[in-house]
Amino acid sequence: MIKAAVFGSPISHSLSPVIHQRAYEILGWEWEYERHEVKSGELIARIILRNRIVILGSIILITVLLSLQWKNIRFTQTEANLIPADDKVNVDYQKFLDQFGEEGNLIVIATKDNHLFTPKVYQAWSELMTTIKSHKEVSLVVSVDNLQKLTKNDSLETFELKPLVDSNKVQDEKYLKAIKTELFTRLPFYEGLLFNKKTGAIRSAIYLDKKIVNTKARKEYVLNDLIPAIEKFEKTTQIDLHTSGMPYIRTLNAKTIIDEIGLFIGAALLITSLIFFYFFRSFRATLISMIVVIIGFIWFLSNNHWCSGWCFNRCLDGLLWWSRGFNFATHH
């Protein structure tokens, strides 16, 4: 049986035992949390007061050393697993990945602009697809400019694959319009993948290398290569492109979180300090509480770097550190 306690004087009003004990029951921990009245002349108080410089110095030194670990903190490139690893659904999904590889590797670029099948815009579209296909992170690009159609060879009595678009005729706008008509009326196999009859949208399917989907290489490719290429096309043609797909969405979401994490932490500290001041009505008590909260946050992040697999426990540690700061300010 592990026992924890809060010390102070007066201490009878503290709700810490009730809060912590309930948390232990929910987590199934056989722990006990108690409160102890500490008089000024008791041994523990004398030891703490006598060695306060050493204790504070040790806390500051440890905090500084732990803060040096911040440079090693990285944003994970994998999706969060919301169910236990041994759950049947998760086990079956992992078997699927082991056999077929990562499935979330598709990025789609689309537009409904009618000017796509004009010589200038089509040339820019073809160059965009060629640029995308040239990167090692891309395993396959399926687009109108490289589409194949099945034709019958009567002399050999076989079927052959031939390019849908003749690159020597793409400067002829009438020819491009005929290609669009043929795509929408005679090639239903590609409906839903490369075009939508109802909306008139044209798409390109970009398949990333499955090996990089959950790595930093995916993020670097999307941010440094794909997005600049799309922006160049839009600037040249004045046509807006719409991009989607799990690799693209995950990359932008991760970038947004990283860009805003500093603002979030600052806002959280500000709100926390205002709440403390509302309860304590004292700048000194608020300052002490915030110092303890900041120290606890630094320790929490550093522990999370070393034990990243235990994310839930690290979050619990952070909450416990917060409550310790609250206790410290309340009882002292």
Residues 131 and 231 occupy one common structural domain: yes
251-262 pLDDT tens trace: 888 888 878 878
Residues 134 and 263 occupy one common structural domain: no
Q: 110 lies in a domain? A: yes
Token representation of residue 77: 């490139």
Domain boundary among 244, 263, 280: 244
Residues 21 and 152 occupy one common structural domain: no
Domain boundary among 225, 244, 263: 244
Question: Which of 142, 157, 154, 73 lies closest to 110 in space, CA to CA?
Answer: 142
- Confidence check: pLDDT of 121 > 90: yes
Residues 264 and 160 occupy one common structural domain: no
Residues 26 and 7 occupy one common structural domain: yes
Residues 118 and 237 occupy one common structural domain: yes
Q: 63 lies in a domain? A: no
Per-residue pLDDT band at 103 (split at 50, 70, 90) = low
- Confidence check: pLDDT of 94 > 80: no
Q: 167 lies in a domain? A: yes
Higher-confidence position of 330 and 305: 305
User: Going by DSSP bridges, is the β-strand pair 158-163/195-196 parallel, antiparallel, or unpaired?
Assistant: unpaired
Q: 59 lies in a domain? A: no
Residues 116 and 212 occupy one common structural domain: yes
Residues 88 and 175 occupy one common structural domain: no
pTM of model > 0.85: no
Residues 11 and 119 occupy one common structural domain: no
Q: 57 lies in a domain? A: no
Residues 264 and 179 occupy one common structural domain: no
CA distance 165 to 175: 9
At residue 40, the pLDDT reads 55
Domain boundary among 197, 224, 244: 244
- Give the CATH number of the domain where residue 19 resides: 3.40.50.10860
At residue 96, the pLDDT reads 66
Q: 55 lies in a domain? A: no
CA distance 248 to 117: 26
At residue 303, the pLDDT reads 67
Residues 139 and 202 occupy one common structural domain: yes
Q: 56 lies in a domain? A: no
Token representation of residue 96: 């699927």
If one counts the domains in the chain, the total is: 3
Q: 62 lies in a domain? A: no
- CA terminus-to-terminus distance, the chain: 29
Q: How confident is the model over 298-314, as a mean pLDDT?
A: 56
Enclosing domain of residue 262: 69-100+246-332
Q: For the chain, give the mean pLDDT.
A: 80
Residues 109 and 234 occupy one common structural domain: yes
